[in-house]
């Protein structure tokens, strides 16, 4: 098995290293050490608090016991929702990536124990789903639209690949291969037409192929992606089954399912030349990012069906914006980025990472949001777990795998996608060993210094591609203190090609002024309102910072100057935005009324001058309850 067997350079989250249609190649989690003050503390909390507490939840809610029941090691009845196996698999994946980064011996022991329970539950024919054991065995594959059998299998496969790449062990990978072969014995050309009602297995099968080079797994992924749109899942938009993927041009239906489906499409594009599929994914991406995505990067507007709405249907207080859907968008963006290195994909990934995803977990690491609204009356709070607990282990596996998303390589050289203080050791396509040291205080400050380490030959020529975020105007780049040439353009990768030597340093300056953002006029919910942003972060206001002022009454006068300052004493250390703005309540004539004739006499309330304090959106609801809002009125 050529991929994943190298203990130092093989722990790839998405392995495009041998994908013929992918321009970018991955960098191993083992090759990157985060030392920054933003992401690494969160990954440490993920390791020390989140994953142990999730393990306890998996035990206390019977999710791991379900495997013991299936193997006969314990007696009793299945507990919970029929797709509960998937939560265990996501936890396995999260712990595997954590083990790949080192320093988690207790988690590693728990991981081995849980994998043992999973492996023992597999049936002789390769089938594994603890809900469909014993008295329900005759119901297998009888309701693929609703019962998530392939969805659960997909998460097992992804967990197995992660465990293999992190440890070199095939213990769980062998389980995944047998399960994939069982699915392939039921579905495929000349067999049964069908696909799971909840997409997931498609991109998992591509990654299983990449880990094993066994083409039957890739063939099954192609079949399952192509089976949609033929009525095999009921023919509804909810399941993205209303049309073949190559005929789709609007993102519809259940948002998480859609994101996983399009991620699988991008995975196939990395392996196959398919102009029709590429054209469709380009249209779907455009529809998502220009008409159906929140300013936080979140997707999925409707509570009904956890679904996308129509174009520009993006309610704030009733935003569904599920954490899992944001994670799905990040996965899709990453896979599209690998195809040709277009910065727009990395920009969206950064936006949703810092905002729409990170809000889904508390600062202390053991409470979670399912939806992520952009406005709330203070009654919505994070929970320690859910009956449908898809989001908690999903965000845990993303945080655990984060080092694998910072860098990439191509035939031309090194790509820097996300900025964080880190040390990296990787291989250039030429085989040269490249050591990097990155110093940064991102996202609070836009200064980034990249130092080239030892072991380069004197004539090593390659390119360094630095992402210039789309939000950044006026970026400057210097190499060894001298300007690197033409000014970099926002929303692009800026290429610096030269002969590099040990000790060379690149300095990138990304200005981070406070920005006011307005939305498209057709997004009527935000008419006359603006959002505040700085760097990659979207901001919000909370009642706790504004005394007796109702945050709904806050108005931002045009031309208001807001200052950014770092507060080490607040919310684990954040940069806040502050300034003097206006609070104006509804005029007294509205007392006791819901409607009145327009144009009548208006008894305008006097404006009050108040001190604004805006905090990063991801950090809201970590203090006492109170109103929150992202979009502020103007005057």
Mean pLDDT of 455-460: 75
Task: Out of 117, 149, 237, 306, pick the active-site residue.
Answer: 306
Strands (E), 254-395: 375-376
φ/ψ bin of 227: left (φ > 0), alpha (ψ from -120 to 50), beta (otherwise): alpha
pLDDT tens digits, 474-500: 999 999 999 987 789 999 999 999 999
Q: Is residue 331 part of a domain?
A: yes
Which of 374, 405, 436 finishes a domain? 405
- 3-class DSSP state for residue 323? helix
Domain co-membership, 530 together with 486: no
Identify which of 17, 23, 27, 16 has the alpha carbon closest to the alpha carbon of residue 402: 27
Domain holding 310, by residue range, is 29-405
Compute the C-alpha angle 57/62/66, nearest 5°: 135
Task: Return d(Cα 475, Cα 492) in angstroms, integer.
Answer: 11
Catalytic status, residue 390: yes
Q: What 8-state DSSP symbol labels residue 73? A: S
The CA-based dihedral angle spanning residues 289, 294, 298, 302, taken in that order and rounded to the nearest 10 degrees = -110
Q: Could you give phi then psi for residue 287, rounded to 5 degrees?
A: -65, -40
DSSP-assigned states of every residue in 207-218: HHHHHH--HHHH
Task: Return d(Cα 100, Cα 103) in angstroms, integer.
Answer: 9
Q: How many domains does the chain have?
A: 3
Domain co-membership, 271 together with 354: yes
Mean pLDDT of 428-452: 94
Q: Is residue 172 part of a domain?
A: yes
Q: What pTM value is reported for the model?
A: 0.97
340 pLDDT more than 90: yes
Q: Is residue 92 part of a domain?
A: yes
User: Is the distance from CB of 82 to CB of 66 less than 8 angstroms?
Assistant: no
Q: Is residue 125 part of a domain?
A: yes
Catalytic status, residue 306: yes
Average pLDDT, the chain: 95
Domain co-membership, 489 together with 535: no
Q: What 8-state DSSP symbol labels residue 164? A: H
The H or E element spanning position 478 is: strand 476-479
- What's the 3-state SS for 371-420? CCCCEECCCCCCECCCCCCCHHHHHHHHHHHHHHHCEEECCCEEEECCCC
Task: Return d(Cα 268, Cα 206) in angstroms, integer.
Answer: 7
Which of 509, 525, 545 finishes a domain? 509
- 3-class DSSP state for residue 254? strand
Q: Is residue 327 part of a domain?
A: yes
pLDDT tens digits, 590-625: 889 999 888 766 666 678 899 999 999 999 999 999
Domain co-membership, 111 together with 191: yes
Task: Return d(Cα 53, Cα 49) in angstroms, integer.
Answer: 6
* Confidence band, pLDDT 50/70/90 cuts, at residue 7: very low
412 pLDDT more than 90: yes
* Confidence band, pLDDT 50/70/90 cuts, at residue 446: very high
Domain co-membership, 502 together with 579: no
Identify which of 267, 245, 294 has the alpha carbon closest to the alpha carbon of residue 617: 294
Q: How confident is the model at residue 590, as a pLDDT?
A: 86
Domain co-membership, 231 together with 359: yes
Which of 509, 539, 569 finishes a domain? 509
CA distances from 61 to 79, 84, 603 (A): 7, 10, 57
Domain co-membership, 501 together with 524: no
* Confidence band, pLDDT 50/70/90 cuts, at residue 4: very low
Q: Is residue 9 part of a domain?
A: no
Find where tokens 């297995």 sit: 201
Identify which of 324, 262, 278 has the alpha carbon closest to the alpha carbon of residue 299: 324
465 pLDDT more than 50: yes
Portion of the chain with pLDDT greater than 70, in percent? 97
Q: Could you give phi then psi for residue 514, rounded to 5 degrees?
A: -70, 130
Domain co-membership, 324 together with 235: yes
Q: Between residues 217 and 458, which one has the greater pLDDT?
A: 217
pLDDT tens digits, 86-136: 999 999 999 999 999 988 999 999 999 999 999 999 999 999 999 999 889
Task: Return d(Cα 104, Cα 212) in angstroms, integer.
Answer: 27
Token output for 438:
């990155």
Task: Out of 390, 391, 472, 540, pick the active-site residue.
Answer: 390
* Confidence band, pLDDT 50/70/90 cuts, at residue 264: very high
In CATH, what number is assigned to the domain containing residue 489? Answer: 2.60.40
Q: How confident is the model at residue 432, as a pLDDT?
A: 85
Domain co-membership, 413 together with 400: no
In CATH, what number is assigned to the domain containing residue 108? Answer: 1.50.10.10
DSSP-assigned states of every residue in 186-202: HBSTTSB----SS--HH
Q: Is residue 23 part of a domain?
A: no
Domain co-membership, 327 together with 227: yes
pLDDT tens digits, 25-63: 999 999 999 999 999 999 999 999 999 999 999 999 999
Q: Is residue 13 part of a domain?
A: no
- What's the 3-state SS for 496-562? EEEECCCCCEEEEECCCCEEEECCCCCCHHHCCEEEEEECCEEEEEEHHHCCCCCHHHEEECCCCCC
9 pLDDT more than 50: no
Domain co-membership, 147 together with 259: yes
* Confidence band, pLDDT 50/70/90 cuts, at residue 460: confident
User: Is the distance from CB of 405 to CB of 20 less than 8 angstroms?
Assistant: no
Domain co-membership, 392 together with 478: no
72 pLDDT more than 90: yes
């Amino acid at each position: 098995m050529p991929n994943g067997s190298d203990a130092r350079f093989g722990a790839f989250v998405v392995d495009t290293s041998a994908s013929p249609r992918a321009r970018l190649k991955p960098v191993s989690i083992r090759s990157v050490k985060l030392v920054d003050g933003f992401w690494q503390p969160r990954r440490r909390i993920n390791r020390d608090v989140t994953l142990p507490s999730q393990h306890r939840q998996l035990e206390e809610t019977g999710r791991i016991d379900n495997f013991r029941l299936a193997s006969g090691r314990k007696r009793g009845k299945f507990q919970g929702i029929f797709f509960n196996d998937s939560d265990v698999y996501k936890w396995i994946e999260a712990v595997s990536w954590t083990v790949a980064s080192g320093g988690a011996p207790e988690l590693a022991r728990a991981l081995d124990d849980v994998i043992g329970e999973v492996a023992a539950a597999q049936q002789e024919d390769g089938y594994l789903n603890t809900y469909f054991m014993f008295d329900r065995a005759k119901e297998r594959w009888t309701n693929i639209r609703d019962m998530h059998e392939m969805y659960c299998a997909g998460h097992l496969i992804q967990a197995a690949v992660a465990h293999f790449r992190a440890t070199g062990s095939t213990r769980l990978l062998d389980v995944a291969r047998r399960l994939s072969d069982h699915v392939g014995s039921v579905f495929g050309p000349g067999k049964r037409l069908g696909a799971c009602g909840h997409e997931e297995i498609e991109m998992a099968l591509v990654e299983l192929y990449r880990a094993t080079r066994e083409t039957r797994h890739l063939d099954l992924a192609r079949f399952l992606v192509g089976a949609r749109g033929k009525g095999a899942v009921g023919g509804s938009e909810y399941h993205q089954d209303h049309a073949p993927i190559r005929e789709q041009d609007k993102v519809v239906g259940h948002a998480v399912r859609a994101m996983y489906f399009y991620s699988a499409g991008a995975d196939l594009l990395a392996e196959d030349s398919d102009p029709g599929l590429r054209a469709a994914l380009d249209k779907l991406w455009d529809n998502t990012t220009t008409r159906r995505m929140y300013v936080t990067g979140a997707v999925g507007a409707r509570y009904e069906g956890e679904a996308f709405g129509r174009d520009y249907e993006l309610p704030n207080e009733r935003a569904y914006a599920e954490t899992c859907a944001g994670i799905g968008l990040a996965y899709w963006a990453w896979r599209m980025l690998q195809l040709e290195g277009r910065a727009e994909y990395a920009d969206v990934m950064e936006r949703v990472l810092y905002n729409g995803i990170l809000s889904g977990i508390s600062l202390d690491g053991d409470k979670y949001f399912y939806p992520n609204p952009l406005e709330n009356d203070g009654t919505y709070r994070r929970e320690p777990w859910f009956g449908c607990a898809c989001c908690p282990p999903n965000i845990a596996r993303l945080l655990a795998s984060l080092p694998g998303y910072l860098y990439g390589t191509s035939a031309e050289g090194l790509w820097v996608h996300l900025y964080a203080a880190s040390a990296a050791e990787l291989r250039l396509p030429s085989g040269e060993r490249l050591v990097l040291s990155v110093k940064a205080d991102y996202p609070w400050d836009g200064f980034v210094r990249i130092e080239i380490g030892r072991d380069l030959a004197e004539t090593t020529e390659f390119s360094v591609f630095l992402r210039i975020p789309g939000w950044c105007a006026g970026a400057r780049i210097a190499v060894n203190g001298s300007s690197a040439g033409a000014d970099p353009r926002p929303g692009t990768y800026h290429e610096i090609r030269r002969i590099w030597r040990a000790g060379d340093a690149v300095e990138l300056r990304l200005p981070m002024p406070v920005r006011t953002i307005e939305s498209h006029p057709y997004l009527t919910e935000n008419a006359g309102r603006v959002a505040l942003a700085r760097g990659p972060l979207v901001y919000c206001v909370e009642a706790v910072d504004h005394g007796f002022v109702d945050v709904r009454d806050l108005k931002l006068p045009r031309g208001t100057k807001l200052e950014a300052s770092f507060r080490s004493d607040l919310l684990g250390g954040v940069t806040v935005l502050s300034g003097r703005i206006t609070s104006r309540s509804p005029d007294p004539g509205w007392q006791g009324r819901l409607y009145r004739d327009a144009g009548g006499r208006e008894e305008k309330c006097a404006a009050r001058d108040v001190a604004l304090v805006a905090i990063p959106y991801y950090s809201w609801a970590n203090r006492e309850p109170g109103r929150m809002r992202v979009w502020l009125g103007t005057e």
